[in-house]
Amino acid sequence: MIFKKPIRIGPTKFKIFQWMMHIVILAWLILVFYQGLTDQLGGDPVQSLLDFTGIGALNLLVISLVISPIASYLKFGQFIQLRRPIGLYSAFYALSHLMVFIAFELQFEMGLVLSEIIDRPYITVGFTAFIILSILAITSINNIKKKMGRKWFTLHSLSYIAVILGGIHYLWLVKSAWYEPAIYIIVSLLLILLRRKKLQKCSNSACMFIYTVLLYMHTTWIYRQRAPL
């Protein structure tokens, strides 16, 4: 079905929808943390928090990337306005995921944090995705976006790399239940395929970064085959 007539929702209704989105995303996170702190998440509340924040960050990132092709297909221009806040929430969930790991798993031992990032490939990949999301969140500030100009779009194409890294982090973490994280990786590759024309415009520096990340992923995959995580 091809949509020839643009879809548009009244400003008030769309504003209400936006506020509902903010409330659901934040309230859900607050509720799960409250359940964790009050021992309502079962026998391993820390793992439950890690799972919720990690998968939540990945889901939100995928949703933010799906918005553009859906808005284009449906000719629903207003839908694009949701991409930025959902992307920022993805970064916030990823930050929560990292803080739960540092606070409850490593007890704020920063030396141990550094060694975990370096020695465990799945943590290195996940941390790389977090760094990318953090940079994208910071550069989403309007003043920075204006100063960057066209470079902003090049930089934010790295969100596709972030979601692939997140999927690989998830895949290496679960080990046996590979099909769930594999879905994220497949969806990510499909999104890249859909947006390939736009992504082809990336600068040489951005392409070099992507190449470096892919090379690292290949290297860590070999390391993973030779040594246990």
Q: What is the DSSP string of 37-67?
A: HTT-S-S-HHHHHHHHHHHHHHHHHHHHHHH
Which pLDDT score is estimated for 171? 86
Distance CA 127, CA 137 (A): 15
DSSP 52-114: HHHHHHHHHHHHHHHHHHHHHHHT-GGGGGGHHHHHHHHHHHHHHHHHHIIIIISTT-HHHHH
Which pLDDT score is estimated for 209? 57
Percent of the chain's residues with pLDDT above 70: 82
Return the closest-CA partner of residue 197 out of 153, 136, 131, 151: 153
CB 60 within 8 A of CB 93: yes
Question: How far is residue 178 from each of residues 55, 89, 174, 209, measured CA to CA in Å?
Answer: 14, 26, 7, 27
Q: What is the pLDDT of residues 31-76, one digit of tens each?
A: 999 999 898 998 899 999 999 999 999 999 999 999 988 888 888 8
pTM of the model: 0.86
Place of tokens 């951005």: 206
Residues whose CB falls within 8 Å of the CB of residue 105, separated by 6 or more in sequence, listed in order: 46, 50
Give the mean pLDDT of 168-176: 82
Q: What is the pLDDT of residues 200-227, one digit of tens each?
A: 555 555 555 555 555 555 555 555 555 5
pLDDT at 229 over 50: no
Residue 204: CB atoms within 10 A of its CB come to 8
Distance CA 132, CA 34 (A): 28
The residue extents of the domains of the chain are 11-224
Which pLDDT score is estimated for 222? 56
pLDDT at 144 over 60: yes
Give the mean pLDDT of 186-207: 67
pLDDT at 197 over 80: no
| Least confident segment among 26-30, 94-98, 221-225 | 221-225
Give the mean pLDDT of 113-135: 91
Residues whose CB falls within 8 Å of the CB of residue 123, separated by 6 or more in sequence, listed in order: 116, 117, 169
Return the closest-CA partner of residue 116 out of 130, 104, 106, 128: 106
Confidence grade of residue 82 (pLDDT, cut at 50, 70, 90): very high
